[in-house]
Amino acid sequence: MLDQVKVGFIGAGGNASGHMQRVSEIEGARITAICDLVPEKAEAAAAKYGATAYTDYQRLLDEADLNAVYVSVPPFAHYDAEILAAERGLHLFVEKPVALTLEKGLEIWDAIAKAGVLSCVGYQLRYTPFVEPVREFLAGKNLLMVSARRWGSLVSTPWWQKMELSGGQLVEQATHEMDLVRYWAGEVRSVYATYARKVHGGVPGITIPDLQAVQLEFASGAIGHFVTSCTGCPGGRGFEFFLEGMKLTTDGNAPVLTPAGAAPLDVEPREAQSIDRVFIEAVKTGDGSRIKSNYLDALKTLDVTLAANVSAKERRPVETYFSW
């Protein structure tokens, strides 16, 4: 067991800042190195946490005293940092989506598996209070259909608006909800997607759709659909699970069963867990059993969303890579 977990960060943007703050509050963890392409960002974060600033992640990996690395970069920037870190025996926390192509993701996973290091991906919704009660309720039941949504607004960050850099809203943002669909309903066997741009067509340089609808075929034989939009229409997040004679509904809060009392349902919230604390504790003890989404599992969520992109582009059903 490690007395102290020494942590490095590759990427010092807004997402990484939240993780840095939480890691800094964990007893037995210390941030020792921070890298960002923008020197001012790296230096400001390093000064705040008493770390060394870098602008070259390879130098960070070569020089810094580390046990673990957070890779918190935009989708298009997942290149070889994870591979180099794994080859050095460093445990990995990787921000979602883990890559922009399945080929790159598989290459990274191969390096992680060969090195035998722990991996955790930032699907923090899996650690919220009502996720396990929903999963336990659905387990073993004859699930018929799933209906899920994520409605939001256009992100102003330029790269987010470009399909070739972000993968689109489904890959970059609604991946959280698609990941919960997988966690609750099981693996997706095939998808058929249609996309449109109905509101943001006048945004300069935009290449992502603002409406995405995906039909799902699950390995269990259940079917479903998933819709996401960045048009700014109200809707938020929601999930409906249709079973024989009943429906389970949740928006991330306490699940509701219709009709009430149709089956035993535990609506007692579980203790919320910090994904950062879970990861740091795993590195400290060498026990990754509390990590709910390792790199391979996250790659399966990416697989579904990338298959949807291919389906929409080629206007045909597409089988996922992992579920056959």
Q: What is the pLDDT of residue 20?
A: 98
Task: Classify domain 125-261+302-319 at the CATH superfamily level.
Answer: Dihydrodipicolinate Reductase; domain 2 (3.30.360.10)
* Global model pTM greater than 0.85: yes
State the fold for domain 5-124+275-293: Rossmann fold (3.40.50)
CB neighbour burial string for 249-276, b if at least 16 within 10 angstroms, e if fewer: ebebeebebeeeeeeebeeeeeeebebb
Could you tell me the mean pLDDT of each successive run of 10 residues in the chain, 324 residues long? 96 95 98 97 98 98 98 96 98 98 98 98 98 97 98 97 98 98 98 98 97 98 98 93 98 97 96 97 98 98 98 98 84
Q: What is the pLDDT of residue 324?
A: 67
| Domains of the chain by residue range | 5-124+275-293, 125-261+302-319
Q: What is the pLDDT of residue 234?
A: 87
Q: What is the pLDDT of residue 235?
A: 84
Three-state SS at 12: coil
Q: How far is CA 6 from CA 37, 64, 73, 279, in A?
A: 21, 9, 20, 12
Q: What is the pLDDT of residue 99?
A: 98
Q: What is the pLDDT of residue 93?
A: 98
